[in-house]
Each structure stands twice: as C-alpha cells, then as structure tokens.
Amino acid sequence: MVFSKDSIINILSRPVNFNFVNSEINNQINNNELFSTVFKYSPIGLIIIDEEARLYKVNNYFFKYLGMPYHEVTDKRFGNMFSCSIIDGSSLVCGESLSCRQCQIRNAINEVLLYGKTIESIDIPHKFTIKTQIETKWFIISASPITFNSKKYVLMSFVDITQRKRLEDQLTILGITDELTGLYNRRYLIERCKRMISECHNTNQVMSLVIIDLDNFKYINDTYGHSVGDDVLIAFAETLRDNLRSCDLAGRFGGEEFIIALPNAPLDIANKVIRRIQNHFEQLSLLRFNKPISFSGGLIQIPSDYREALSFEEALEKADSLLYWAKNKSKGTIKSELFENR
C-alpha cells in the first residue's frame, strides 16, 4: 500500500493507543504493521503541537528517554509535560517565565505557528529535571507547519545528540588547555590575550599583563625528579585558579612560565593580586613539598589612553624584559611598570 502525504498527515494526526492521547482509530493504525512499527520503535521524538502551542499528540520517545511512564498530554505545554528545569516545581505554565523567552524550543514553535516557517535540522539544547537532577539535553530539531481539518499544527522531530555534544565539548577543552595544569595552553593563551588587549583598548579600560617564572625550577627537577616538578606546576595552577577573578586569564606559556592578564586592573591592584598569589603559593608549596617555592615576574599596565591597540608581542616583550630584570635582582622579585605612550 502506498500512502500520499495527505493520508500520512491524516494518520499522524489521529491518536493511537500506544502513543497518542485517545484511541479513536486504533484499529486503522494498528492493523498496518508498517506504521505500528515505525511509531512504536521510532528512535526519535515526534510531537504535534496545536495552534495554541499546546501538545496535541506525542509518541512515546520522550517518556522513555526521560525515564517517565507514558501518560496523556492533552492541552499540556512542552515544559510542563517534560519537566523543564525552569518551571519544574512551580505553578508556572510553560512560556510564562521570563527565562522562557530564551527557550529555543518555544521560539522554534512560534516561528512555525506564527510565520509558517519550516525549520530544518537545527541544534537546540534544553534543560530538564530528571530524577531531581538538572540535565542539559541536545537535539537536532526539525519542524514543519501542517494543516488538518482547517486547523494549524506544528510537527516536530527530535534527534538526541547529547553524547556527540559532550564529546565535542571535551575535544574543544582538550584543544585549548594545557594537559598537565589544566590552564589554557600557549596557543589559546596568545589568542585570548590579543582579543583582551583589543577589547580593553576599544572600551577605554586599563589592563595589566604579567609573565611569571617559577624560581629554581630546574633545581627542583634535577634534585627531586620531574614528577615532583610536575606536581609543583599543578600546585601553582591551582593557586592561580583560587586567586583570580572569572574575568582574568591565566595560562601556561611554556615550561615553568605562566602569563596572567588582568582586565580593568591598574598597576597597584595587579601588584596586590600577584603578591597574594605569591603568599598563597609559598604556603601551599611549604605544606606539600616541605619547602616554600617562589616565583619572579614582570608586570606591565597598558593604559586606557594608549595611542593605539598595543600588540600582544609588544606587551610580552616589555613584560619579559621586566621579568629578566627581576630574575637577575633576586628570587621572588616582581618588577612592574606602566607601559608608556610613545
């Protein structure tokens, strides 16, 4: 038997006992083995939404996927039916929260209902409450307008790509972080520093940049072994994470050298931050390695009124020259200067 598009929509729009709300034409569908199999074992979600943006019919994919027993969905909204984390546990109807304005599923439904658009294969995340835990699920969603009995509906399909997204995120993180310390790696560090310098220039903000070198690190490696040296680097990275703001940038530049960028931080504030990191690291290293480990640094402030966007290479050259001066003076020295207009 061959089905036309109209006959398929006609069948889809009628409830089936194993998927849909009621059983008006169960026999017609269940007697057709193809449609029975397709709907019962479909690996994707199929949802029909009415012109009031309410669920009209749903196959059993979502219930199994979210660990819920199948039950009726008549006149319910997507978020209320499937435990959207934004409204879960509240008396709000899906769409009433201010956060719902950012919901990509809701906006996709509106695009189809209000403007008759067809949406093809877009990646959309949504947060659900699953067994009291909030989980983000990713889908490839497609949606089309359909009309049946002079009424408008939205037919949406959902293909789960959560595992793929998680793998992509992991690969992205691996590509920008230093394997040992978990800080940003050299390549990404340079890229971000360049953007930050440009952004601070465009927004007329000061920015401080420091290059740090752990003192006597070769001696630590030669005397205690490279595994201890690795532990020292890990401890220092931990110190940076504990003592910097979320807007600050820290990364491993190479070996025992690190770079820190502090947006909207003048020289006096930046000096205090670096001194705090020094004290914290010396205490931590004394506790873990029975010896306080110091570091030296070259710190510059890029003024907000600098004549043009300073290049990262220029800033690094200046900070590196200050570091060289500090290392030659004495261990644990931080040399700081304002980068002057030329």
Section 198-217 average pLDDT = 91
Is residue 78 predicted with pLDDT exceeding 50? yes
Is residue 7 predicted with pLDDT exceeding 70? no
Residue type (1 letter), 128? F
- The predicted pLDDT at position 312 comes to 87
Rounded Cα distance between 248 and 203, Å, is 16
Is residue 15 predicted with pLDDT exceeding 60? no
pLDDT in tens, 274-294: 999 999 999 999 999 999 999
The CATH homologous superfamily for domain 178-338 is: Reverse transcriptase/Diguanylate cyclase domain (3.30.70.270)
Which tokens hold the place of 76? 């319910």
Is residue 24 predicted with pLDDT exceeding 60? no
Is residue 13 predicted with pLDDT exceeding 80? no
The full set of domain ranges for the chain reads 5-167, 178-338
For the question of residue 256 being annotated catalytic, the response is: yes
pLDDT averaged over every residue in the chain:
86
H or E stretch at 5: helix 5-12
Residue 26's pLDDT band (cuts 50, 70, 90): very low
Residue 89's pLDDT band (cuts 50, 70, 90): confident
Largest CA distance in the chain: 90
Section 212-226 average pLDDT = 95
CATH number of 5-167: 3.30.450.20
298 vs 123, 271, 316, 338, CA distance in Å?
45, 10, 9, 11
Q: Does pTM top 0.75 for this prediction?
A: no
Alpha helices in 210-335 (DSSP H): 217-224, 226-243, 267-289, 312-329
Any idea which of 82-91, 186-195, 322-331 has the lowest mean pLDDT? 82-91
Catalytic residue among 199, 256, 257, 314: 256
Closest CA to 335 of 313, 311, 319: 319
